[in-house]
Structure 1
């Protein structure tokens, strides 16, 4: 069969995009599959598309592309098909109407699947009986505004089938549409097995992920986590995602004084690496159409605490076996569920193992099989010999007739001419990395992108001429990756950012290393190597997709383990690396305006290498618009000051995710000033008094 999926924007990140790409990739193993993306916003899809799946963009929104459609006068006229109440209706125009209509009129597909209400309505109005017309519901019946629900319900009678992702939602549709002859059924989303390592459920970290919308109830999760921190202050919560609730959630974090415990991480393109860091996953929604994040966490072996809301969680999780279900809207119950797993490592591990078994029900091949059966039953019910002949004739004619204004698929670049036997293949290295409990980094380079007998990993400092060379180990199996181990015991790297290259000895060709999976889980349990200068390495993918290292190298370092904002003070707790605490330890605030505005306060040792300090006053205001002080620890009277920062984990740039509220401090003259902590671009701690 030829199967076409209509998608709003295959180049974006979102649950519908991810689930559609998963299903399309699975079905491409046995069928011809095409994804038609109404909009193209990027050069390449951010989530990647299976190489067997053909991608056809209709309207190009990239203003720097030669195929940019923004100047087309039809883009200024609203769609006459898409319901105005549809949340993305403003994106649809007469140009999208024209391109979609032309595509649906000309396609030789056997099945066309529409993945959102706007496209369901369009498929119902302009689709053809030449192919099966199937709609998908990625939300639920009760979660559309009335006008959109009415428009979609009316469209369903023109389709062959309508597929929801939960059994309860399919039942709700049938209950509300009793006279509808269109087949309504449910097939869950597919969850492919991740390539990243699984969690060891050891790190004191809870992870949640999803769009920052009111229905996700991250406000309730933050409230519940405040109760958790009161009992287990070493635990942290990371919330991944973007959305309109970000400012309100930031305010909630401030209100609960959880700035050192709850972090809004933004969107992440490879959540599988982030689930692997978690020990508990959290889903606090008032409703979930399905629950893809539940499946992703389960794949990583992470037990999920979820609200038992309509419709997805209860159809996935068996309470007490592979996760926990708690009542929706109850912060106390959610906190109790989190604490039940936080307090019991063995239970986390056992539930995580059970979750990995549960998620096999949602393997892409199994979900693809269900769709194949549905399509087969629908075809059997309506396909006749005449229509089979008609389709064959139409396909033959399609090769002869001009395509008109209908955009075609992206064409692959012409194949390079064959090379002579003695000429090495082009070097296009791509690889990933893992980290271990010693803070070391293992680099892997895929065999498919390299050639030669002798390859070297070259690390080049981004702001200097320093280079470090590490041999890449050739694998015994030619299909296995080349590897290099970067160890703190054998390698010293200056502080900064290092770009990674692969160099071939035969001809000296050097190419920058493209990033695959960057797995940082090991850093959450790693510790700096004792008896040496402080060193820490964090691998990461650059914005343009290359593998790099952020390195820290200092004679000594004071790691800020806690930064607290109280009503009349700022407090810091920390651990000293590479130096010894002694008599006369001080916390120093070094003014960026000069020495007269520095301040100091006693640093009280709380252990052999740990300390605590409290700031209640600041020097008189300077002439600067925003007075700033960088924090240092003087370990003893005779010791040199040591920078205070937060470095020893997996966060490359802390500024975007770590925000601290202001509090009122006083000056020696009794004047009140507002002051707050912030992180510098080097992940060091500073104070601002704007």
Structure 2
């Protein structure tokens, strides 16, 4: 069977894209599968597709000039309004109308599956009658606005079938469609593959047991009700301050959520982590998974967490959670009418009962297996086969088929000739030049990146497993895995890989003390003509980064020095390593940003001690100044308060400035860095955020003061000019 999925932007991130990637990959085991993406916004998809799946983009929108190359790209679509794509970076256009219609008319798939309302409209309008035309609902009937709901019902009635991701929503669609509507409506849950991080292998069972982190994943949009989750967690943090909450995702409510976190004083306890893929590496760090939505069409994040052995706390919202979670068996369901109080009670129930967390997590693993892609692919195959048998179809067109490549070239040329006019000619020339420059870079002597997985072991060492399909045995024999420190010339750690096997290459904490800085990982020949340049090196592209062990790993004080390593993916997807190595360090445990001052609690490590006249020194663009330190009950901890009004007196210039805060144990002694190194976060500038206070400076005007972390994860105070109204 030939199956084609029609997706708006397969190169994006979100539940629909994940669901398509999972199902298409599973179906490719026994069928010929194509994913047609209306827009291409990146070089490759964020979610992996099985190599047997053919990915076909219709409009290349990787460069801004594409709209000028095609005037129809700036003209609005004639299809009904779909708010999701309409609010995206590539809104529906007349160009999309033309491209999709042309593709559907020439498509030779047996089944075409449209994955969002706009695409369902296209399929109903332009789909061929000799094909099975199937819509796939990833939201719910109730979630669409009235106008879109009416358009959708009219379009679905013209299809052969409509698939929802819950049985409850399927019943609503059946009731809303006319009795003689042609579409057969059925509920089939989304497929969720086994995680690439094995939840049963060390260190993950121990991390789950020791973790004090609640994790939530999803777009930052109103229906997800992360405001409810944050308010509930505030009640948890008040009695269990050692717990923290991480929210992974991006969206339009981020600013509102950040303000709510600031208002509740949760800057140290709640972190907005941004979007992350693949997400199973982050579920592996969780003790509890949280879903706080007002509505979930399915609840993919619930199943993803369950497949990682994490117990879930979810609102009992329409439609999906109640079909996934069995209360008290593999998770907890919280009535919506209970609000944040009921949700806080459910969280505290699991926070205070590690044995129940363990029991629910084990049952969650069994529940998650019910959504294995192979099983869902079988259910889809049976459904489509049965549907084919029920439908009498006209014979396929007998017109002569053009070879696929020639057909694509001809249609592309026709669109270029028909849609490129005026300013578009110059834009096309610019686009061609951009592509030529990119092609030149790709043919540069620099070798292509080498895919690899990286995992942190229980003692904080790094294990790198190279993709055997991307490197030859000869290259392995003649090369070394090299970690090279940036800005340090030929300062590098070289690891032999001739015996690279199932366990990969180990960068051992016991064998190596890495200087503080950032390190890049590459595959280099044993004999390098110029080690500083590494002309023939292959960067290591990290495909999976498992740093769960760092969540519960304490800072090491090897040999009287504080040492810590955090691997990360660079902006271009390569493996990087952030290291710290300090003879003394003060680890910031708490930052309380109030209206008049910021209070900090820090733990002294290695060579740092609590002297009789200890101070915190603010070092910046002007003369340094000192803040008194209060002795805590625990001699290994210090506490100090930095008054904003006092700090403002030291603003000596109009330009923005950042004052580093360092601990001095006593007069004449060297200062010690104050920072937050422990854990798995290589750069805390975005995740550890605190509210700003605006005060009036007599010379330089309104000034914003805010505690911040620097690029080295050290604590500082930023003083900047307040934006004018």
TM over 0.5: yes
Change (3 A) 1:647 1:399: closer
- Whether the 8 Å CA contact 1:676–1:688 is kept in 2: the answer is yes
Partner of 1:412 in structure 2?
Answer: none
Superposition pairs of residues 418-497 of structure 1, within 5 angstroms: 429-450=450-471, 451-452=473-474, 453-465=477-489, 466-472=491-497, 474-475=499-500, 480-481=501-502, 483-497=504-518
Superposition pairs of residues 113-128 of structure 1, within 5 angstroms: 113-128=113-128
Partner of residue 547 from structure 1, selected from 554, 575, 599: 575
SS at match of 2:265: coil
Matched, 1:657 2:658: no
Partner of residue 498 from structure 1, selected from 502, 510, 519: 519
CA distance in 1, matches of 2:188, 2:641: 57
Change (3 A) 1:440 1:639: farther
Partner of 2:440 in structure 1?
Answer: none
For structure 2, the 5+ residue unaligned runs are 414-446, 530-535, 721-725
SS at match of 1:590: strand
Partner of residue 224 from structure 1, selected from 213, 218, 232: 232
CA distance in 2, matches of 1:521, 1:403: 45
Matched, 1:629 2:659: yes
CA distance in 1, matches of 2:670, 2:482: 35
Partner of 1:274 in structure 2?
Answer: 282
CA distance in 2, matches of 1:652, 1:168: 43
Superposition pairs of residues 576-587 of structure 1, within 5 angstroms: 576-587=604-615
Change (3 A) 1:664 1:138: closer
Partner of 1:599 in structure 2?
Answer: 626
SS at match of 1:341: helix
- Whether the 8 Å CA contact 1:12–1:46 is kept in 2: the answer is yes
Matched, 1:52 2:82: no
Deviations 1:279-326 (A, max 9, x none): 111000000011111111111111110000000111100011101100
Change (3 A) 1:197 1:407: farther
- Whether the 8 Å CA contact 2:617–2:664 is kept in 1: the answer is no
Change (3 A) 1:230 1:604: same
Superposition pairs of residues 391-406 of structure 1, within 5 angstroms: 393=398, 406=411
- Whether the 8 Å CA contact 1:439–1:528 is kept in 2: the answer is no
- Whether the 8 Å CA contact 2:586–2:608 is kept in 1: the answer is no
Report how many residues are paired: 659
Change (3 A) 1:584 1:594: farther
Partner of 1:23 in structure 2?
Answer: 23
- Whether the 8 Å CA contact 1:298–1:355 is kept in 2: the answer is yes
- Whether the 8 Å CA contact 1:26–1:364 is kept in 2: the answer is yes
Partner of 1:344 in structure 2?
Answer: 353
Partner of 2:564 in structure 1?
Answer: 536
Change (3 A) 1:587 1:295: farther
CA distance in 2, matches of 1:63, 1:427: 22
Deviations 1:168-202 (A, max 9, x none): 00011112225134201110000011111424322
CA distance in 1, matches of 2:458, 2:669: 30
- Whether the 8 Å CA contact 2:695–2:703 is kept in 1: the answer is yes
Deviations 1:542-565 (A, max 9, x none): 111111101112211111011112
- Whether the 8 Å CA contact 2:448–2:539 is kept in 1: the answer is no
- Name the one with the larger helix percent: 2
Q: CA deviation at 1:10?
A: 0.5
Partner of residue 551 from structure 2, selected from 524, 542, 552: 524
- Whether the 8 Å CA contact 2:560–2:607 is kept in 1: the answer is no
Q: CA deviation at 1:483?
A: 2.1
Q: CA deviation at 1:529?
A: 2.7
Partner of 2:421 in structure 1?
Answer: none
Partner of 2:716 in structure 1?
Answer: 686
Partner of residue 69 from structure 2, selected from 50, 68, 71: 71
Matched, 1:302 2:300: no
CA distance in 2, matches of 1:222, 1:572: 23
Change (3 A) 1:473 1:528: farther
CA distance in 2, matches of 1:167, 1:378: 18
Partner of residue 375 from structure 2, selected from 360, 366, 383: 366
CA distance in 2, matches of 1:404, 1:434: 44
Matched, 1:196 2:191: no
Q: CA deviation at 1:659?
A: 1.3
Partner of 2:386 in structure 1?
Answer: 377
CA distance in 2, matches of 1:261, 1:504: 46
CA distance in 2, matches of 1:612, 1:308: 43
CA distance in 2, matches of 1:237, 1:505: 45
Deviates more, 1:543-552 or 1:485-494: 485-494
- Whether the 8 Å CA contact 2:610–2:638 is kept in 1: the answer is no
SS at match of 2:33: strand
- Whether the 8 Å CA contact 1:134–1:160 is kept in 2: the answer is yes
CA distance in 2, matches of 1:25, 1:132: 20
Matched, 1:574 2:582: no
Partner of 1:84 in structure 2?
Answer: 81
Partner of 1:414 in structure 2?
Answer: none
- Whether the 8 Å CA contact 2:216–2:246 is kept in 1: the answer is yes
Change (3 A) 1:358 1:628: same
Q: CA deviation at 1:474?
A: 1.4
Partner of 1:413 in structure 2?
Answer: none
Q: CA deviation at 1:156?
A: 1.3
Partner of 1:252 in structure 2?
Answer: 260
Deviates more, 1:268-277 or 1:528-537: 528-537
For structure 1, the 5+ residue unaligned runs are 409-425
CA distance in 2, matches of 1:672, 1:234: 36
SS at match of 1:174: helix
Matched, 1:292 2:289: no
- Whether the 8 Å CA contact 1:582–1:637 is kept in 2: the answer is no
CA distance in 1, matches of 2:540, 2:692: 42
Q: CA deviation at 1:514?
A: 1.5
- Whether the 8 Å CA contact 2:461–2:509 is kept in 1: the answer is yes
Q: CA deviation at 1:582?
A: 3.4
Cα RMSD (Å): 2.5
- Whether the 8 Å CA contact 2:568–2:577 is kept in 1: the answer is yes
Q: CA deviation at 1:403?
A: 5.6
Q: CA deviation at 1:454?
A: 4.9
Change (3 A) 1:581 1:174: same
Partner of 2:187 in structure 1?
Answer: 186
Partner of residue 334 from structure 1, selected from 343, 361, 368: 343
Partner of 1:215 in structure 2?
Answer: 223
Change (3 A) 1:467 1:658: same
- Whether the 8 Å CA contact 1:446–1:481 is kept in 2: the answer is no
Change (3 A) 1:70 1:353: farther
- Whether the 8 Å CA contact 1:579–1:635 is kept in 2: the answer is no
